[in-house]
Amino acid sequence: MSILINQDTRLLVQGITGRDGSFHTRQMIEYGTRVVAGVTPGKGGRTFEGAVPVFDTVADAVAAARPNVSVIYVPAALAASAIFEAADAGIPLVVCITEGLPVLDMTRVMPFLRERGTRLIGPNCPGLISPGQSKVGIIPGNICVPGSVGVVSRSGTLTYEIIHQLTGHGLGQSSCVGIGGDPIIGTNFIDCLRAFEADPATDAVVMIGEIGGTDEQQAAEFVRAHMKKPVVGFIAGQTAPPGRRMGHAGAIISGASGTAADKMAALEAAGIAVMKRPADVVPLLQERR
Amino acid sequence: MNLHEYQAREILRKHGIPVPEGAVAASPAEARAIAQRLGGTVVVKAQVHAGGRGKAGGVKLAQTPDDAETVAGRILGMRIKGLVVDKVLVVPAAEIATESYVGFIVDRASQRPVLMVSAAGGVDIEEVAAQTPEKIHRLTVDPRYGLLPHQAQALAFQLYREIGPVRQAADIMRRLYETVYAVGASLVEINPLVTTPDGKVQALDAKIVIDDNELERHPDIAALRDASSEAPSEVQARQAGLTFIKLEGSVGCCVNGAGLAMATMDLVKYYGGEPANFLDIGGSSNPEKVVNALRIITADPSVKAILFNIFGGITRCDDVANGIVQATTAFPLKVPMVIRLTGTNEKEALAILAKAGYSAGTDMDQAVQAAVARAQGRAA
């Protein structure tokens, strides 16, 4: 088992013929993901590398290939439109890899998704992987192995670093989810923690947060009140200066709120083992399991 | 991206929000001419991206055009929180009956725009929020319908009792909401929103912050950027497509990915060092980016050691290695460098670096410890 994606995932790629879209579609197929369709307006009727049918619209792709997950690799200016289109076509899970979506676009996207019951992961995220089953996005498949640790993170390469530590010490993963580094994201820590708590294949969770906002504090409260499985946490940005965006649009300390110290204290108060550095993940997990 | 007050005023004016007359001057003579045209007493205000301008002496009254010239001469060239003032705004010194606050932010928790108003205007709103939060009234706006007339009016009644100013303020709030979406703002504030003795509601001072992700679709707004208020190294980095933030330490960091870059800085601190910067070379693995990154890091004289921390995913380690070799061939390094790379094409990268005489490791903790030691003049 796993959360969100598994061997039954039928994937649609929006922006399949673009530079990033085509590269990562190849990687996902190589990993074993069932990519059933692609969309690039104006290129309907072709096939991607002789294997994946390409459609002009998401609605056409849904009618012909019945995807249940869509992944978006279109440029930032078109990404909100691509999310709207996927939700309108009834796709229940949409993963937006694209970075640089205006936050005001997201204020309009979110109510639209809620009305249609579509879950969004991202934007500005590396996607997710259920090792050995399916990979949707850009997380390198070769660093993951199947196992029972769930990983949820606001980051990309920092997540790879932590997965790399886990895999290096024989701790496989049930699912790894990159929820994205933007101020408004479709799926937050709590959504993933709840799913991991309910997933019989997961027996411990690693959550990787960073400065900015209060998602980690709310997640800590959720862990305290609702989780039995052990959780290990990391917060990036202890040395970040206030008022500056640290690469991710959402990674900013505003006034006195959103600091790493606050978040680490909230995690600890909720009984979450807090790593001081990425290499602590393995010993802390081994202590708790 | 922050806008200056004079730029924010102009945007509000274009969207039908009443602002006092006035104009911006870059020289004392220009300030004099504006004061002459306005007539009467004027206020000369420093235009810098820093709070507390008044306390720093950057806002002054001037009775006559001559005064305005003298005052502008003193303010222009002044440093406020390290930033040099090169423009002043000259506005009439209006009589003020009341001062309020009106602002929009995009709220992360509700994922919606939130309108905030307070009758306690003219002071730092964060202080009001901290000390007397009950004086701030908030409304979460449903972006599908926008700010509805009755909602704006109800909030305006929190500021005024008379229907005249209430109607004017409600109209200003609705126009302000439209401005947020029209220019792609992540924050707009009118502080203070004033009433004049004859009952007119006006925006006396304004602040607008634009979401950087909006700049591509708003080239007119992007053109308002004032690079003089940024560190030159940060301007250079932005032009090269890098995210760079200068800090005070001695370990220059070059990392792929924002989260890993922050974690690397934190680990430098953990091992007793201080990071000199945040630098994310991004997901693409163009060797040119690495060359630019090294050029920017090495230009900082406080950097005593350079640390590369690369986790290859989309970024290919061999591209980074090629960039390092290209850069150090073109301009040899004067400080030691520690390289950690792992992931995609790691073996190729190690071979490229070995050929050029560099050693590299694959462990993050070891690399950070070595870089801290070298920055402190110890052997790694």
Q: Which residue is it, tokens 């070595």?
A: B370
The mean pLDDT value for B353-358 works out to 94
Nearest to B6 by CA among B63, B81, B91: B91
Residue pair A116/A89 in contact (Cβ under 8 Å)? The answer is: no
CA distance B65 to B69: 6
Asked if the model's pLDDT at residue A184 lies above 90, the reply is yes
Q: Within this chain, do residues B66 and B135 fall inside the same structural domain, yes or no? A: no
pLDDT at B314: 77
CA distance B324 to B331: 11
pLDDT at B170: 98
CA distance B214 to A73: 19
Contact assignment for B180 to A104 by CB distance below 8 Å:
yes
Neighbouring CB atoms inside 10 A of A261's CB total 10
Answer yes or no: is A117 within a domain. Answer: yes
Q: Within this chain, do residues A32 and A146 fall inside the same structural domain, yes or no? A: no
The mean pLDDT value for A10-38 works out to 95
Tens digits of residue pLDDT in A210-228 = 999 999 999 999 999 999 9
Q: Within this chain, do residues A273 and A144 fall inside the same structural domain, yes or no? A: yes
Lowest-pLDDT range of A118-122, B268-272, B358-362: B358-362
pLDDT at B240: 87
| Candidates A104, A157, A260; nearest CB to B106 | A104
| Candidates A140, A183, A239; nearest CB to B275 | A239
Q: Show Cβ contacts of residue A72 under 8 Å, excluding neighbours closer than 6 positions.
A: A14, A15, A79, A82, A83, A86, A94, A95, A96, A97, A98, A122, A123
Residue pair B342/B317 in contact (Cβ under 8 Å)? The answer is: yes
pTM score, whole prediction: 0.93
Question: What's the total number of domains in chain A?
Answer: 2
Contact assignment for B258 to A255 by CB distance below 8 Å:
no
Q: Within this chain, do residues B146 and B166 fall inside the same structural domain, yes or no? A: yes
Tens digits of residue pLDDT in A251-289 = 988 877 799 999 999 999 999 999 999 999 999 999 987
How high is the ipTM of this complex?
0.94
Tens digits of residue pLDDT in A49-100 = 999 999 999 999 999 999 999 999 999 999 999 999 999 999 999 999 999 9
Residue ranges with strand state E in A145-286:
146-153, 173-178, 204-210, 231-236, 273-274
CATH of the domain at A282: 3.40.50.261
Mutate to test the interface with B, among A28, A104, A163 (most CBs of B within 10 A): A104
CA distance A275 to A207: 10
CATH of the domain at B39: 3.30.1490.20
Answer yes or no: is B14 within a domain. Answer: no
Torsion sign (Cα): B157, B159, B164, B169 = negative
CA distance A217 to A267: 7
Asked if the model's pLDDT at residue B376 lies above 80, the reply is yes
State the average pLDDT for chain A. 95
Nearest to B221 by CA among B210, B207, B236, B205: B210
Reported as a pLDDT band with limits 50, 70 and 90, residue B55 is confident
CATH of the domain at B141: 3.30.470.20
CA distance B221 to B363: 44
Nearest to B34 by CA among B42, B377, A42, A11: B42
Asked if the model's pLDDT at residue B167 lies above 90, the reply is yes
CA distance B223 to B218: 9
Give the structural domain span for A168: 139-288
Percentage with pLDDT > 90 across chain A: 93
Q: Within this chain, do residues A158 and A259 fall inside the same structural domain, yes or no? A: yes
Contact assignment for A103 to B213 by CB distance below 8 Å:
yes
The mean pLDDT value for A167-174 works out to 97
Asked if the model's pLDDT at residue B169 lies above 70, the reply is yes
Percentage with pLDDT > 70 across chain B: 99
CA distance A23 to A1: 28
Strands A93-96 and A119-121: parallel
Higher pLDDT, B227 or B93: B93
Answer yes or no: is A4 within a domain. Answer: no
Q: Which residues on A lie below 8 Å from B343 (Cβ)? A: 140, 143, 160, 164
Annotation says A226 is catalytic? no
Q: Within this chain, do residues B137 and B199 fall inside the same structural domain, yes or no? A: yes
Asked if the model's pLDDT at residue B380 lies above 90, the reply is no
Reported as a pLDDT band with limits 50, 70 and 90, residue B126 is confident
Asked if the model's pLDDT at residue B285 lies above 70, the reply is no
Answer yes or no: is B3 within a domain. Answer: no
Asked if the model's pLDDT at residue B227 lies above 90, the reply is no
Contact assignment for B259 to A103 by CB distance below 8 Å:
no
pLDDT at B284: 63
Reported as a pLDDT band with limits 50, 70 and 90, residue B379 is confident
Among chain B residues, the shortest Cα distance to A108 is held by: B143
The mean pLDDT value for B117-126 works out to 87
Cα atoms found within 13 Å of the Cα of residue A165, Cβ hemisphere only: 21
Residue B209 in contact with partner chain A when CB distance is under 8 A:
no
pLDDT at B86: 93
Give the structural domain span for B333: 231-375
Cα of first residue to Cα of last residue in chain B, in angstroms, is 41
Q: Within this chain, do residues A204 and A64 fall inside the same structural domain, yes or no? A: no
